[in-house]
Amino acid sequence: DAMVIQNPRYQVTQFGKPVTLSCSQTLNHNVMYWYQQKSSQAPKLLFHYYDKDFNNEADTPDNFQSRRPNTSFCFLDIRSPGLGDAAMYLCATSRFISGGSEDTQYFGPGTRLTVL
């Protein structure tokens, strides 16, 4: 089945120790998104890629970086995790067609990050 895969599902890191979360998709979608979701809150968009075109949200901290080496993979790098970065990180994909109407986002299962 076509899907969005996130690894690992649970990640524990130490304060200040860089961590990388990965997302892969078999949907061949051209847009990939990274969201941060804290407990009992709505997901917050960090950035997204349209093909290789990177789009950063204005309020995304510099501590968060992303790479998309090819259509299928996208990585979230947290350079120096703080306690406030503990959250669920959700990857999503969609197929954007210029002039089209429906571009449903499909989400992966998420990576729950703990910062000690």
Partner 1 sequence: AQKITQTQPGMFVQEKEAVTLDCTYDTSDPSYGLFWYKQPSSGEMIFLIYQGSYDQQNATEGRYSLNFQKARKSANLVISASQLGDSAMYFCAMRTLPEAGGTSYGKLTFGQGTILTVHP
Binding residues among 19-48 for partner 1 as defined by CB under 8 A: 31, 37, 40-43, 45, 48
Rg (CA), the chain: 14
How far apart are CB 16 and partner 1 at their closest, in Å?
25
Among the listed ranges 13-21, 59-67, 72-80, 92-100, the one in contact with partner 1 (CB under 8 A) is: 92-100
CA 73/CA 16 separation, integer angstroms? 25
CA 76/CA 57 separation, integer angstroms? 14
Nearer to partner 1, 24 or 94 (CB): 94
Nearer to partner 1, 37 or 72 (CB): 37
Contact 105, 92 (CB under 8 A): yes
